[in-house]
Structure 1
Amino acid sequence: MSVVLDNEEGVPFEEALDRTGFGLYSVSMTALAGVVIISFVCIFYSSTIVVPVSACQLNTTGAQQGMLVAGPIVGVILGAMFWGYVADQHGRKKTLLTSLIAGATINAFASLSTDWFFLLILQFIASLMISGQYSLAMTLVSESVPLAKRNIVVLMVTCIFLLSQGLMAVMAMPIVPLTFSYRLPYLDIYWTSWRLLLVIYSLPSLFTALWLNHMQESPKFVYSKGTETKALDILKIIYRINNRDRSDEFKVKSLMRRTSINFEYVPRNHCMLLFTQPLLKYTLIMTLLFLLEQLAAFKVWLPTIAHRYVQVVNYGEGRNLTLCSIIASSMDDPKVKENSEIAARCGLDFEALLIVLVITMMLSVTTAIMTMAVGRFGRRNMVMIITLISGGSGMLVNLVPNSVASAALFVLQLLGIVVIGLYTALCMTLFPTRLRALAMTLTMTGARVANFMSIQVINYLLIHSCDLAFYIYGAMLAFSAVVAYFLPRDTPTTRNNHQILHEESFD
């Protein structure tokens, strides 16, 4: 057990961070975290757009395309905890820089793939390199802004995350239709639009790395490593940038020194601390909450669902059908099936991409509204409200025989994905600095494994038992409200007390 002795001189770190204020540096760090998320999504989800566009040139079968889509998911699952551990040992900034540059480089090289298997291997490796970026970006920004603004900042970054897939669609719209083809004789391949798109999806990572290089390391991480002087220097820089219009100096002259006598902590036990009291309860709850939220699997199939919906509405008689009846009709109606096959051949349906963009915009706006409401209701209560409404909507999707109403309930179900921001904010509060990045990646890794399985399950159920897919996953999400009930009430007083308790026990 770790015994912590705090001297009476100096200012506690959180109070010192609060005194830096919220200004230009804080806004810049928030925007940077958002761009990191965009960079992550551009590489992680690139296969969902590149795979159908490259199908003709690479001659991929349906099974091979499924493997290409699954490759990045497996890479993120396998690499996430490694990057979390590295970040907790060597710093958020250095780890993110390495991840951004490595991921962008390998993803760009994937554009030179000579066959589908080479593309699979390179995108798998690229996903390994970027697998920790989401949690690291959230950790870095949460440790660099005052406590009072932390929830809002994390939720705002989540707005960007939910919009990112739509931004990918926007980037793809002018590139995918291009018909140029240049032969590269040394590789015996033709440089076409999908290869260019892979390179374009790598550029945000390089831009982000350049931006990040001019920012400071997390002052909370530096402080947790026992280098109070260096942490104070970082806080002074943050204060100076946040308060450019003021001539006074940072009032804090020294930080409260924390001397840890640690009888148990060694690096190999780093992960085990999350499974000891008082953190065990929160590790289990947050892992279960992430596991029950499987709406990302529905988002993967959103273009397919949207395509079939549009085809039935345009070519069939689907106005008085439920969403699952529309999906079934798209596969059974010969006229609709013929048009669907023509539209899907070696390309992407423009209307489907447009629907993805609109829905991701709705997700982002919903998160922004939730950001304003969370201060009034609290994170725990907001989780309970959202999961109940979203899960209930999913179970009602196929009980309303009207195409518009059924689709609206499906969109309402998808809006439940905004709880990811709340889960992230909760993790930032419940886990101490030394374990925070690892806790984020650990609790999310289980969800990613389940998400990989859900993608396959939902794909099968949409064809063979569509109604069951909505009932099962709607009920799972609604059950999250019961699990969230066991989280602590996050009033300002209890939130601060929990954080102080964890920092004293483990930092």
Structure 2
Amino acid sequence: MLAAPFVAGVVGSVVWGWLGDRRGRRRVLLGALGGAALTNAAASLAPSWQLLLLLQCATTFLGSGVYPLVMTLLSESAPRASRDRALLAVATVMLCSQGVMAGLAIPIIPLTFSYYVPALSIYWNSWRMLMLAYSLPAIVAGLGIWLFIQESPKFVLSKGDEDGAMKILKFIYKINKVDEKLQVQGLFLDSQEMATAMAGAEAGAGEAAAAGRGRVAALFRAPLRKYTAICTLLFIGMQFVGAFLIWLPKISNQLTKLLQTGEGSDMTLCAIIESSLYAETRALAEPAGAASGVSCSINVSALLILLAACSLQLIANGVLSLAVGRYGRRDSVTVLVLACGASGALAAAGAPAAVGAALYAGLVVGIVVVGPYTAIAVSLFPTHLRSLAVGLTMTGGRLCGFFTIQLANYLLGRHCRLGLLLFSAVFATSALLLRLLPSDRRRRPRVAIESADPSGVALKPLRVNKPTTD
């Protein structure tokens, strides 16, 4: 039930990225959102688990392209000065999505109603209602995009429609600056973008059936081959933190239980993990009658710990946003990756329970790099390949994510310290990959030179090193 949607998501990221580069980001995004909402709503009416699995695969396939398409559309619509902050803000919302899903589930799942639907031979109950509720965010987002979001102006310009791109920019400017007019007379692509687009067009020329292969192949040819490999490896390294993030609820629950009984104050983090696994094994070995009185609910204090961990991620993302604006994506993320890796290594050193749990939380904070990594990817690839590149590099990370979760389960259960050290070290090595990327740190423009007017009446400022835009 879990593996089939995972495969659909891996395939969907590449397909929707390719379509976004050919048909436009907004059009494909609306199709993906609408299709995902409809198939998920239909899954709430599934009369059998086979149909439920099929519809969930379709939902995952359609929804897998939403994130790369949104990030690509946003990056090509926001000005360079505020682009990184905008992308990080969207990544922050994505990190909060699990909390939103839990917030929807808390009031719905406990409901005890059950209505029989004769036409489908099903009982409409709380979990079906929850699945229907999960379609609402996609519907609301789709309506917002339909009413307020235009196509990427850079995508339209890359297709040779300068007038269309100007109309889009005027629409965006009107929303943000109602009382002013856009003071732009014309648009152009920078020389590097134009050269790459022409090279890609020549490389992708051929029959329509081979267009997809041509675009994918362009990502594995110079000069993009290096960036494709680095971005893919960065997303793979991120999965070594994501695998430990799955363990956070279990660790917080077990830590709270032990501390409340006074048994966990002198235990290390690995001892807490081992006791959690032992408790699960013992519960499974008990007869059904003996285990019937065991509560499956999570401790309230453990929920507070999880909320604190989520708050820590939000704070880290906010600090990272400020750092990116001053020091650039590459340098800021390098420091974060090294700090999170060091926190994980210290957690494996045998610190007391509370300290070890805090260090473990510091390690999983590294998941916030998904925003900067996406921002890096969209900045490195040309317009006609951008959506496909983001989807393809993220797919590499998702493929390895399945295996890293299994490896984390094995190591934490048998060789906890080794697992913490290994995963922390792999994540920290992402800093070496980041150093291979070009620096994006913005240099402050030199002070404007005041040139005197020949008449001596006025001074006209001359701006030196005019910043380029993309």
TM-score by length of 2: 0.84
Work out whether residues 366 and 418 of structure 1, in 8 Å CA contact, stay in contact via their aligned partners in 2.
yes
Can you list the C-alpha shifts for 1:20-65, whole angstroms capped at 9, x where unaligned?
Answer: xxxxxxxxxxxxxxxxxxxxxxxxxxxxxxxxxxxxxxxxxxxxxx
Query: Are residues 1:146 and 2:96 paired?
Result: no
Residue type at the aligned position of 1:361: S
Instruction: Give 3-state SS (helix, strand or coil) of 2:439's partner.
Output: coil
Does the 8 Å contact 2:256/2:299 carry over to 1?
A: no
Deviation string 1:133-162 (CA, Å, 9 cap, x unpaired) is: 111111111111111111111111111111
Letter paired with 2:273: I
CA contact (8 A) 2:47 2:121 kept: yes
The 5-angstrom pairing of residues 33-112 of structure 1 reads 68-112=1-45
The equivalent of 1:9 in structure 2 is: none
SS at match of 2:108: coil
| Aligned equivalents of 2:106, 2:257: Cα separation in 1 | 20
Q: TM-score, normalised by structure 1?
A: 0.78
1:188 paired to 2:121: yes
The reply on whether 1:369 has 2:308 as its aligned counterpart is: no
Q: Does 1:460 align with 2:393?
A: no
Q: Distance in 1 between the 2:388 and 2:251 partners?
A: 35
Q: Counterparts of 1:311 and 1:336 in 2: how far apart (Å)?
A: 16
Q: How far off is 1:278 after superposition? A: 1.6
- Mean Cα displacement is larger for which, 92-101 or 162-171? 162-171
Q: For residue 483 of structure 1, what is the aligned residue in structure 2?
A: 433
Q: Letter of the aligned partner of 1:306 in structure 2?
A: S
1:272 to 191, 210, 217: 217
Give the superposition deviation at 1:77.
0.8
Q: Does the 8 Å contact 1:393/1:413 carry over to 2?
A: yes
SS for the counterpart of 2:183 is coil
CA distance in 1, matches of 2:158, 2:398: 29
Q: In 2, distance between residues paired with 1:482 and 1:197? A: 44
Q: What is the alpha-carbon distance in structure 2 between the residues aligned to residue 493 and residue 226 of structure 1?
A: 32
Q: Percent identity over the alignment? A: 42
Distance in 2 between residues matched to 1:71 and 1:229, nearest whole Å: 45
Secondary structure at the aligned position of 1:183 is classed as: strand
Give me the whole-angstrom Cα distance separating, in 2, the residues matched to 1:330 and 1:263. 58
My pick for the range that moved more, 365-374 or 116-125, is 116-125
In 1: Cα distance, 2:159 partner to 2:223 partner:
21
Q: CA deviation at 1:85?
A: 0.1
1:375 maps to amino acid: G
Alignment partner, residue 58 of structure 2: 125
Moved more, 174-183 or 361-370: 174-183
Q: Distance in 1 between matches of 2:349 and 2:291?
A: 26
Aligned-residue offset at 1:483: 1.4
For residues 252-267 of structure 1, the aligned pairs below 5 Å read 252-256=184-188, 260=198, 262-266=201-205, 267=211
| C-alpha contact 1:104 1:206 (8 A) present in aligned 2 | yes
Alpha-carbon distance change, 278 to 179 in structure 1, aligned in 2, over 3 angstroms: same
SS in 2 for 1:173: helix
Cα distance in 1, alignment partners of residues 64 and 119 from structure 2: 32
Which amino acid is 2:203 matched to?
E
Q: CA deviation at 1:437?
A: 0.6
Distance in 1 of aligned mates of 2:404 and 2:94: 21
Name whichever of 182-191 and 71-80 sits farther off. 182-191
After superposition, residues 141-220 of structure 1 pair within 5 angstroms as: 141-214=74-147, 215-220=149-154
**Per the alignment, do residues 353 and 82 of structure 1 end up closer, same or farther by CA in structure 2, a change over 3 Å counting?**
farther
CA contact (8 A) 2:237 2:427 kept: yes
Match among 425, 439, 442 for residue 492 of structure 1: 442
Contact 1:316 / 1:333 at 8 angstroms: preserved in 2?
no
Q: Distance in 1 between matches of 2:392 and 2:12?
A: 11
Partner amino acid, structure 1, of 2:73 = L
Instruction: Please state if 1:445 is matched with 2:395.
Output: yes
Amino acid at match of 2:246: V
Q: What is the Cα-based RMSD across aligned positions, in Å?
A: 2.8
SS at 1:263's partner residue? Answer: helix
1:299 pairs, out of 211, 222, 245, with 245
Letter in 2 for 1:360: C
C-alpha displacement of 1:471: 1.8
Q: Which moved more, 1:299-308 or 1:234-243?
A: 299-308
**CA spacing shift, 1:310–1:187, aligned 2, 3 Å:** farther
- Using the TM superposition, give the Cα deviation of residue 101 of structure 1 relative to its aligned residue in structure 2, in angstroms: 0.8
CA–CA distance in structure 1, aligned partners of residues 41 and 298 of structure 2: 21
Given the alignment of the two structures, is residue 435 of structure 1 paired with residue 401 of structure 2, yes or no? no
2:341 to 391, 411, 417: 391
Question: After alignment, is 404-413 or 447-456 more displaced?
Answer: 447-456
- Structure 2 CA distance for partners of 1:122 and 1:387, relative to 1, 3 Å: same
| CA apart distance, 1:477 | 0.5
The answer to whether the 8 Å contact 1:142/1:150 transfers is: yes
- Provide the rounded CA distance (Å) in 2 between the counterparts of 1:305 and 1:188: 41
Question: Runs of 5+ in structure 1 lacking a partner?
Answer: 1-67
